[in-house]
């Protein structure tokens, strides 16, 4: 096991509505990101992915509030830190964030270099503007971004160029952890490829030590990340290596997500796409027991009354590979029973 860049232990955060209602959008979430590794977080809209990203930054402002748990970045526990201390000592250097709708994140009236100056001077007021310009120019050239972009306004850039520029600005201080919240959304396929390549290149060059990539596009995670976490209604429901999660999902929700997209596998030409019925629960008053039970066709009576924690499963392979053993899921139904049900449904779908 490599060095842990980010450890999240039982993190719980909530929104407080204007009617003083608690909405636990992140509920006892735990995972670890190792140096040189990237993990993906997938799930439906509203499952808590972006709230988890904001929570990991440790920069809480109403209506989002920290409740409990630990966020440890390279050995430093930032949980409960003063927001001003987080901004100066943590954001940008320890952990950085690429927001959703990054193409709209820049003030259209300011030049790109001004944004970079703001980021660097917030952490090192003694830096000269000439040094900042040299640093920015070298970084942009290494990342195959034209240096003249520094003197342009955001409105002068294309969508793909603007997205890549936001990523370059976010990582200018070489953070240890990068959180990319759907960085390729709303882009054409060619621009998506450039954005993904840029992020991977930054990891290879050591500009970022580890990454969390958030999206609802599971096939994209397979090509970008080493492992995948699936979230549902504020909780993690399954985790595993990217290949395992894409081609052998275990939790009924993970399976439903995969069955709702086209996968170019041999023998699946006649398999029909399926949809997950129903809608996610209202987190103002989450159901007791499994939160997915009302939408799960495999649910049993106990599922709606008995809560289950994430459980590891799998065996060590003859070659000594422990990756299967380190998988985990949140379900009362044994893994072998779920897989048997999936196999029967698959055979039935192919034969029909």
Q: Are residues 15 and 138 in the same domain?
A: yes
Q: At what angle do helices 335-351 and 252-259 cross, to 10 degrees?
A: 30
Any domain includes 239: no
Q: Judge contact between 268 and 275, C-beta under 8 A.
A: no
Assigned domain for 236 exists: no
The predicted pLDDT at position 258 comes to 87
pTM above 0.85, yes or no: yes
Long-range contacts of 293-302 (CB under 8 A, 24+ apart): 295/253, 296/252, 296/253, 297/252, 298/252, 298/333, 298/338, 298/341, 300/332, 300/333, 302/332
Identify whether 13 is part of a domain: yes
Is there a single domain that holds both residue 83 and residue 201?
Answer: yes
- pLDDT of 271 > 70? The answer is no
Shared-domain flag, residues 224 and 288: no
**Residue 237 located in a structural domain:** no
Indicate if 208 and 256 belong to the same structural domain.
Answer: no
Q: What total number of domains does the chain contain?
A: 2
Last residue of a domain, one of 167, 199, 228: 228
Please report the pLDDT score of residue 339 as a whole number.
93
Helix (H) or strand (E) holding 211: strand 210-214
In a domain, 56, yes or no: yes
What's the distance, Cα to Cα, between the start and end of the chain in Å?
46
The domain of 302 spans 248-351
CATH of the domain at 15: 3.40.50.300
- The predicted-structure confidence for 109-126, as pLDDT tens digits, reads as follows 899 999 999 999 988 899
* Cα 46 to Cα 240: distance, rounded to the nearest angstrom: 22
Is 299 found in the same domain as 216? Answer: no
What is the average pLDDT across 329-344? 93
Query: Mean pLDDT of all residues in the chain?
Result: 88
Q: Pick from 298, 300, 322, 297: which is nearest to 312 by CA? A: 322
pLDDT at 321 over 80: no
Q: Say yes or no: 262 and 311 in one domain.
A: yes
Q: Which of 89-93, 98-102, 135-139, 250-254 has the lowest mean pLDDT?
A: 98-102
pLDDT band at 9 (very low <50, low <70, confident <90, very high): very high
* Among 315, 265, 227, 228, residue whose Cα is nearest residue 1: 227
Asked if residue 240 is part of any domain, the answer here is no
279 part of a folded domain: yes
Residue 235 lies in a domain: no
């Amino acid at each position: 096991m490599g060095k842990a860049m980010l450890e999240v232990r039982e993190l719980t955060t909530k929104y407080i509505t204007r009617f003083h209602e608690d909405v636990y959008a992140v509920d006892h979430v735990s995972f670890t990101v190792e140096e040189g590794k990237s993990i993906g977080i997938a799930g439906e809209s509203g499952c808590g992915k972006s709230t988890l990203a904001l929570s990991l930054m440790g920069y809480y402002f109403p209506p989002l509030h920290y409740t409990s748990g630990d966020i440890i970045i390279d050995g430093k526990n930032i949980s409960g830190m003063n927001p001003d201390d987080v901004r100066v000592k943590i954001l940008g250097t320890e952990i950085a964030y690429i927001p959703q709708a990054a193409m709209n994140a820049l003030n259209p009236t300011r030049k790109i270099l001004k944004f970079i100056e703001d980021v660097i001077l917030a952490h090192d007021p003694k830096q000269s503007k000439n040094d900042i310009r040299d640093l920015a120019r070298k970084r942009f050239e290494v990342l195959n971004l034209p240096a003249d972009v520094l003197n342009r306004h955001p409105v002068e850039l294309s969508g793909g160029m603007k997205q890549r520029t936001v990523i370059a600005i976010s990582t200018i201080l070489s953070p240890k952890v990068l959180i990319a919240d759907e960085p390729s959304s709303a882009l054409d396929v060619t621009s998506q490829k450039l954005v993904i390549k840029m992020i991977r290149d930054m990891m290879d060059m050591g500009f970022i030590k580890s990454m969390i990539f958030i999206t609802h596009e599971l096939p994209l995670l397979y090509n970008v990340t080493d492992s995948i976490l699936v979230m549902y209604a504020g909780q993690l429901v399954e985790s595993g290596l990217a290949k395992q999660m894409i081609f052998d999902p275990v939790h009924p929700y993970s399976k439903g997500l995969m069955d709702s997209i086209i996968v170019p596998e041999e023998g699946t030409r006649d398999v029909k796409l399926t949809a997950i019925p129903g809608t996610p629960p209202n987190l103002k008053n989450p159901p007791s027991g499994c939160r997915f039970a009302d939408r799960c066709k495999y649910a049993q009576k106990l599922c709606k009354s008995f809560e289950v924690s994430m459980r590891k499963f799998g065996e060590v392979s003859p070659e000594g590979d422990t990756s299967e053993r380190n998988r985990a899921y949140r379900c009362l139904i044994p893994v072998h029973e779920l897989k048997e049900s999936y196999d029967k449904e698959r055979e039935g779908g192919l034969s029909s």
